[in-house]
Structures are given as C-alpha cells and as structure tokens.
Amino acid sequence: MIAEVLDVAVRLVVIVAVFLVLPLVAGQMEHKVMAHMQARLGPMYAGGFHGWAQLIADGVKFMQKEQVIPAAADRRVFTLAPGVALVPYLLVMVVIPVGPGLVGVDLDAGLFFVLAVMGIGVLGSIMAGWSSGNKYSVLGGMRSAAQLMSYELPLVLAASSVAMAAGTLSLPGIVAAWQWWWLPWQAIGGVIFFVAGLAELRRPPFDMPIADSELIMGPMTEYTGIRFALFMLAEYAGIIVVSALTSVLFLGGWHGPLLPGPVWMLIKVFLLVFVVIWLRVSYPRLREDQLQRLAWAGLVPLALVQLALTGVVRVIAG
C-alpha cells in the first residue's frame, strides 16, 4: 500500500515539474526562434547566456506587481478566470504517456477525458471576457466561444479516427498499437487535430479573439500582474499539451529507433512547438469569417474523409 502511494506521489511530482518547466522552455524558445526568424537577437541580457533567464525575471516582476481589478468588473468571476484557464492543462498531463508504463494514470476513457477537460480551459477566457466589463473583452470572449464551438468538432472527429484505428480510448493503449504506416494512414487526421488544437489555444494565425491591433488584448485586456502571468502560463502549457497529444495520437509517442522513449517524446513535442512558433511568424491573422469557414467547410469535411478512410482500411486489413 505504501509503495503504491509513493509510486503515485512520484508520478504526480514529475507531472507538476514538467507542467512548471516545459511551458517556460517553450516560451523562451518562442522568444529566441521568433527573434532569429525576424533577424533580431531577442532577449540577450537576463542571466548572461543568450538571455536564458528572461522568463524567470518576468516571473519575479509579475509576482510584485499591483493587482488592479476595474470597478466595472464582476470581481468574483474576474479573479477566478485565470485559474479556470490554467488548471485543465495540468489535469490533461496526467493521462499523457511518455514511455511504456510511464504515465500518470492509464484511464480507460483517456482520450475522452482529454477532449472533455481541454474544453474547460477555453471557459477561462470566456469568463475573463465577460467579467471584465469592457467592450473589447466581451467581443474577445464571444470570439473565443465561437472558436471553441467551431474547432471542437474537427478535433473530436480527428481524435476518434485514431481511436478507431487502435480500437481503444486509452492513450498508452493507442501508442502501444501504433505502427509506422499509421503516419500516412492518419496524416489528414493529424493535420486537422494540430490545426484545430492551435485554434482552441487561440494561437496565431487563429488569434482573432486576442487580435491586439483591434481588441487590445481581447479577454485579457483588463488583467495585470500575476493573473495575467497565469493566463500566459496557460497559453504555453496549452502549446505543450497540444503538441504532446499530437505526438501521442499521430506521431507514435515514444516509438523511435536508438534513443529511449521519453527522449523521443520530448524531441517530437519540441519539433511541434517549433512548428507552432513558425506558423505564428509566417501567417497573418485569419479574419473571423475566414476562421469559421476554414472550420466548417475545410476541416470538418476532411475529418469525415479521414473517418471513412480509417474505417475502410481497418476492416479490409482485418
């Protein structure tokens, strides 16, 4: 019994450490990669070596900043929102496997759990938008809600295609069943999942809810200090979670030659994080109607094609 509890405790400590460290690494990577793609240097001062401690310095600053809650805001919802945005991404990490047996907990309905809990994260941004009592925030919150509605369907359909291929909803089970030829077989689904995941995170080019040139900062307009930092942490934790899920479902998770499983997982996750940053640098923001059209006229029909393909191949291959 004690051994069992210790085992769970160690897993939880590792998950929390990953949750607190990897988003910072992704954030620093974004600073530097974006800077170099735009022929700049990015942060160079904090910490000495290529500004590695920039985000730690930011954290120290955020910790000491005054909290400003506008008089017009709905105080209770306003203060709760950053927590609602952040905690779901921590919860999702509990079912993501990084190696054979290396997972927080192997839920039977793991895939379902992931999709359900990730939807809650967007609620934080809707709450923030509505409770701020600011026109820009309300517009941003509405756009967040619309984006969640439109992109959740392709996300769910693409994920269920993998569940059909593997015949299980448990994430370790899916990775264990994965074969190299799933890469071309599930390619359409993989792209759909990744794109829809980006849209749920409101990352550029899907950042219409935040759209700094027209909505200031969307739902986060009225936030300062530590609560704003929590929103930022949620965004980068979200990038890590979406990249990890895409690698687990479509890129074979821990499978790979020579190197041990968790190392492969880390490589795949950070390759996808790089793609996320790359997309941000290369594409202009989609207009709101283009955003909706991409989801309903582009991704959903493609996801249906992927479902048909998965079903036919699975039944013929036996």
Partner 1 sequence: MSGYFGSYVVVLALFAIGLLIVAGVLLVNRALRPSRPTAEKLLTYECGVDPVGDGWAQSQVRYYVFTYLYVIFAVDAVFLFPWATIFAEPGFGTTTLAEMFVFLGFIALGILYAWRKRVLTWT
Q: Does 6 bind partner 1 (CB under 8 A)?
A: no
* Beta carbon nearer to partner 1, 93 or 276: 93
Q: Does 315 bind partner 1 (CB under 8 A)?
A: yes
Q: Does 86 bind partner 1 (CB under 8 A)?
A: yes
* Beta carbon nearer to partner 1, 62 or 270: 62
Please state, in angstroms and rounded to a whole number, the distance separating the CA atoms of residues 199 and 185. Answer: 24
Please state, in angstroms and rounded to a whole number, the distance separating the CA atoms of residues 177 and 278. Answer: 31
Residues 6 or more apart from 270 whose CB is under 8 A from it?
A: 25, 26, 29, 243
As given in the structure block, the two tokens for residue 235 are: 């965004």
Please state, in angstroms and rounded to a whole number, the distance separating the CA atoms of residues 203 and 285. Answer: 9
Q: Kindly report whether the peptide bond that precedes residue 43 is cis, defined as omega within 30 degrees of 0.
A: no
Q: Print the binding letters for residues 218-237 with partner 1: x by CB under 8 A, - otherwise.
A: ---xx--xxx--x-------
Q: Print the binding letters for residues 151-190 with partner 1: x by CB under 8 A, - otherwise.
A: -xx--xx--x--xx--xxx---------------------
Residue 200 CA: distances (Å) to CA of 33, 107, 169: 23, 23, 21
**If binding means CB under 8 A, how many residues of this protein chain bind partner 1?**
83
Cβ of residue 48: shortest distance to partner 1, in angstroms?
25
Considering only residues 78, 136, 178, 193, which one is a binding residue for partner 1 as defined by CB under 8 A? 136
As given in the structure block, the two tokens for residue 168 are: 């299980």
3-class secondary-structure state, position 274: helix
Q: Does 271 bind partner 1 (CB under 8 A)?
A: no
Cβ of residue 242: shortest distance to partner 1, in angstroms?
18
Considering only residues 6, 68, 183, 187, which one is a binding residue for partner 1 as defined by CB under 8 A? 68
Q: Does 57 bind partner 1 (CB under 8 A)?
A: no
Q: What are the beta bridge partners of residue 102?
A: 99
